[in-house]
Structure 1
Amino acid sequence: MTRALRVLLIDDNATERLLAEEAFALTDDLICTLTMASSGPEALARLRSPEAVLPDVILLDINMPVMGGFEVLSALKDDPKLLLLPVVMFSTSHAEADVTQAYTLQASAYLLKSPDFPLFLKQVETFILFWSGAHLPHRSKRTTR
């Protein structure tokens, strides 16, 4: 049996985290677990702890205080333990400079957050389906939930 896809959402906005939690919960038929961090430093501390269970993919907001998404992305890609983790920038920014910077820093993708909840839910479903089927070096296809 394929184990659940593990997703880590890093977003400082409590409302955005709540909406994401709701959207992921509404995808009952898709096997996925969502964990959340409210800041870059919190996420990096968790990921770097010796007992950390690494996510299969990270959804990362760009605009966060203290440590912005691009700083978090750079830190992830500079860490030998974390550099292979796929990171999807998840933002409301349409700015071409943000998209370019994300890919320059080795983001796996750049996803615009839909302000419309039904479309946002569809984005989450498509995201889960894509990453559940992706061949990732740290995700065994033959484990249990």
Structure 2
Amino acid sequence: MKTKVCFLIDDDEDDREIFSLALEKATNSYSCITASSGPDALALLNADAPFTPDIIFLDLNMPLMPGKECLQHIKNNTKLANIPVIIYTTSSYSKDIDDTRSLGASHFLVKPPGLGILTRALKRLLSGEELPYFIDHSS
């Protein structure tokens, strides 16, 4: 069985490491590739070599290029437009939720406070379980 590719775009090294660990615990059908900035992610996504992830997790609050701008670039690219993008951020601000939904994000996941909660959330999302658009793990 071909391993699917999950692409995480997040400037925080610890968050990238925790996400990779949680993904590994959640499922063995996805490998994780990461980028630390919007420009790096877009360079990889737009490279000549075919790199098309099955799903993208995108942080909103990053230097160099905010997540919303990166999301616009992804959704405006015909090669990438149909890839589900899940916003993965510390923000639970309703304007961010509304803005990213209007830009084409599939879900909005507030970064949970622990590896176990993140693992359960990823297991649910990647198994195709129907989830509300906004998944808040703060409670």
Q: TM-score, normalised by structure 1?
A: 0.83
- Deviation of 1:53 (Å): 2.1
Tell me the equivalent position of 1:49: 47
Tell me the equivalent position of 1:13: 12
1:65-95 Cα deviation digits (max 9, x unpaired): 1101000000111122221221111111110
User: Residue 66 of structure 1: which of 23, 41, 64 is its match?
Assistant: 64
Between the aligned partners of 1:50 and 1:36, the Cα distance in structure 2 is 18
- 1:1-145 pair list within 5 angstroms: 1=1, 3-27=2-26, 30-130=28-128
Judge conservation of contact 1:30–1:128 (CA < 8 Å) in 2: no
- Deviation of 1:25 (Å): 2.1
SS in 1 for 2:71: helix
Highest RCO, 1 vs 2 (Cα 8 Å, sep ≥ 6): 1
- Deviation of 1:116 (Å): 2.4
Between the aligned partners of 1:16 and 1:130, the Cα distance in structure 2 is 23
Q: Larger Rg: 1 or 2?
A: 1
1:64 maps to amino acid: M
Q: Which runs of 5+ in 2 are unaligned?
A: 130-139
1:11 maps to amino acid: D
- Deviation of 1:44 (Å): 0.4
SS in 1 for 2:6: strand
Figure out how many residues of one structure are paired with residues of the other and give that number.
129
- Deviation of 1:26 (Å): 2.0
Between the aligned partners of 1:60 and 1:91, the Cα distance in structure 2 is 8
Between the aligned partners of 2:111 and 2:43, the Cα distance in structure 1 is 26
2:91 maps to amino acid: S
Between the aligned partners of 1:114 and 1:32, the Cα distance in structure 2 is 20
1:92 maps to amino acid: T
Moved over 6 A (4+): none
Judge conservation of contact 1:46–1:52 (CA < 8 Å) in 2: no
Judge conservation of contact 1:10–1:58 (CA < 8 Å) in 2: yes
1:30-65 Cα deviation digits (max 9, x unpaired): 311110000000010001011132001100000001
Overall identity of the aligned pairs, in %: 33
- Deviation of 1:128 (Å): 2.2
